[in-house]
Amino acid sequence: MKAPWQASGAFLLVLGGVLHGLPARGADGTQGSPHRGGTLRLTAVSAAGTLDPQINYSSQYMQLMGVMYDGLLTYPKLEGPAGAQVVPDLAQSMPERLDDGRTWVFTLRDGIRFSDGTSLTVADVAASLQRLFRVGSPTAGSFYGGIVGADECLRDPAHCTLAGGVETDFATRRITIHLTAPDSEFPQKIAFGHAVILPASTPAHDLGNVAAPATGPYHIVSSIPDRGMRLERNPYFHEWSEAAQPDGYVDIIQYDYGLSEEDAVTAVERGQYDWMAGLKPLDRLGEIGGRYTSQVHVYPLYGLMYMPMNVNIPPFNDIRARQAVNYALDRRAMTILYGGSGIAAPLCRMVPPGLLPGDGQCAWTEGADPDHPAPRWTRPDMVRARQLVRESGTTGQDVTLIVPATAMDTSMGTYLRDMLQDIGYHARLHPLSAAMELAYAQNSANHVQISLMGWYADYVSPSNFVDTLFDCDNFHPGSDSSINMSGLCDSGVQTLVARIRHEHDPQMMQDLWQQVDDRITRLAPAAPMISISYVDLVSPRLGNYFSTRLYHMTFSRVWVK
């Protein structure tokens, strides 16, 4: 999942006051709670793109959409490891798994309505799955391309029917999904935010600034792209599963745009806003960590920062040029610029710590290579990097580095531009609005050579990194929804991933993901930089702070004084 902003912090920051488990609640959701009511005030530098929940791939909006929309399954709003385990949401129970994992049968809950008052039916489920392909959802191919009929939908999205792949029975509320081959991670993919269920009448195009009717506790009642949005309670919501979609405490969520990062920090410290969706400027980190400790919350992410390189255009269509960037990258400097060793660490692979064995192992440091990785990153190897650039014949070529136009990313970008110049390129830095950088970098028509990105897991699996970011099905030339920004399409990677989808043994799956990770490392379509933790700053009036490792602070779980 791409964040148009990445959390930053400092070594001085400490974990303060994070609660665990479920908050105290009344017998009917939050009814009767003395904490129910009020307005949660959020701020961000800018909007984060489309309000279409099947298209938007930014953490800023997916975090918000988590309290608006629901899928058949979901990741529960629970802290700790429990938050990574799939649970039923609009489905009344976990699906039946038939035919060795080629068929999955769901039963829809009864009595659920959208925020416009219409009843949820199996027809909405079928239409929503078709719509993933019709609107070109970024994960349509990689997550849902195994559904029978998906190949035809990918070739001709406008006429997608998923014929033979999705069957519904109105009387029994059953939805049967047939896959062309077993997929051991299909429940996790159905639980991801792009597979939310919308009314069947939802237009088959990007909704832009128009919000679709919601099933969750909140819905958008007004939105102005350059100013903000307002969410109120969904009048038709009732809590069917506290873990999957709890009734919210606050009555209103007001989300305003326009404050700078500096001003947002000050506003949250003073209680003018309750939370900021943005960077904490480096010059404010000591102040935040020293004076506002009780308002700071730090937790680890399955996340990383990296630089995808376009393998289809010069100079990075030569593997030696890509290797050179990996050897030249000073990952310690990136750690410092992110906020320090308390919340970041050097990373040499495209899988963050905790998902595969060998955390810290590094092929891209002095004295190491993919055949002889070091136990950890120590220092860049500039001599080797310059030699590889010369051998590739790309010395002196123009290279433009695209970065989000935030203080931290621009600082990193300035350093990286100088590094590219140091190894032999004519490099320039091109900051873009954080709201548009991802879409711009994804579109091959823009000829982006290299960019700076943050990414964290859609669910707990290495596939979120080495498959999602480098899968052939995720490269769509000329599209703003082409998350494989490197353009890599490698038959060796594809063969290994296909084997994993048929595999049920966890140890064998892990061994195969290890092989995929090794293959990606050798091909070097990107330069991994650092693994990251997340830093939240909240107002003194916000209570019951609650976050999950996948979706950050949960807006329906917190309350305000």
Q: What is the dihedral of CA 47, 473, 352, 288, to 10 degrees?
A: 0
The pLDDT, as a whole number, for residue 498 is 87
The pLDDT, as a whole number, for residue 24 is 47
- Extract the tokens encoding 379: 């220092």
CA distance 215 to 218: 8
- Extract the tokens encoding 349: 């692979």
Helix, strand, or coil here: 323? helix
What is the per-residue pLDDT across 179-222, written as a single tens digit (0 to 9) for each? 999 898 999 999 999 999 999 999 999 999 999 999 999 999 99
Q: What is the dihedral of CA 203, 204, 207, 213, to 10 degrees?
A: 50
Sign of the CA dihedral running 471, 474, 478, 481? negative
CA nearest to 300, candidates 12, 9, 23, 65: 9
CA distance 452 to 403: 5
Please spell the DSSP secondary structure of 115-180, one letter per residue: TTSPBP-HHHHHHHHHHHHHTT-TTHHHHHTTBTTHHHHHH-GGG---TTTEEEETTTTEEEEEBS
Within 8 A by CB and 6+ apart from 560, the residues are 38, 39, 40, 41, 249, 250, 274, 539, 541, 542, 543
DSSP letter at 442 equals: H
The ranges of the chain with pLDDT < 70 are: 1-28, 279
What is the per-residue pLDDT across 299-319, written as a single tens digit (0 to 9) for each? 778 889 999 999 999 999 999
The pLDDT, as a whole number, for residue 6 is 39
CA distance 107 to 172: 8
Question: Is there a contact between 550 and 76 (Cβ–Cβ < 8 Å)?
Answer: no
CATH code for the domain defined by 301-534: 3.10.105.10
- Extract the tokens encoding 30: 């939050």
What is the per-residue pLDDT across 216-252, written as a single tens digit (0 to 9) for each? 999 999 999 889 999 999 999 999 999 999 999 999 9
DSSP letter at 530 equals: E
- Extract the tokens encoding 482: 């082409």
Beta bridge partners of 431: 403
Same fold? 69-207, 301-534: no
CA distance 277 to 535: 10
What is the per-residue pLDDT across 394-438, written as a single tens digit (0 to 9) for each? 999 999 999 999 888 999 999 999 999 999 999 999 999 887 898
- Extract the tokens encoding 540: 């003194």
CB-hemisphere CA count at 13 Å for 266?
6
CA distance 131 to 141: 13
CA nearest to 6, candidates 411, 287, 275, 304: 304
Within 8 A by CB and 6+ apart from 271, the residues are 539, 540, 541
Angle made by CA atoms 441, 442, 445, in degrees to the nearest 5: 85
Question: Is there a contact between 4 and 437 (Cβ–Cβ < 8 Å)?
Answer: yes
Beta pairing, strands 252-257 & 39-44: parallel
Question: Is there a contact between 457 and 465 (Cβ–Cβ < 8 Å)?
Answer: yes
Q: How many CB atoms lie within 10 A of CB 536?
A: 23
Fold of 69-207: D-Maltodextrin-Binding Protein; domain 2 (3.40.190)
Q: What is the identity of the amino acid at 2?
A: K
CA distance 317 to 141: 24
Question: Is there a contact between 4 and 279 (Cβ–Cβ < 8 Å)?
Answer: no
Distances (CA, A) of 345 to 45, 113, 494: 27, 45, 29
Domain layout of the chain by residue ranges:
69-207, 301-534
CA distance 551 to 131: 24
Please spell the DSSP secondary structure of 533-554, one letter per residue: EEEEEB-TTEES--EETTTEE-
Question: Is there a contact between 101 and 180 (Cβ–Cβ < 8 Å)?
Answer: no
Alpha helices, H only, 331-482: 331-338, 382-392, 407-422, 437-442, 463-466
Question: Is there a contact between 185 and 36 (Cβ–Cβ < 8 Å)?
Answer: no
DSSP letter at 434 equals: T
Within 8 A by CB and 6+ apart from 38, the residues are 249, 250, 251, 252, 559, 560, 561
- Extract the tokens encoding 49: 């793109």
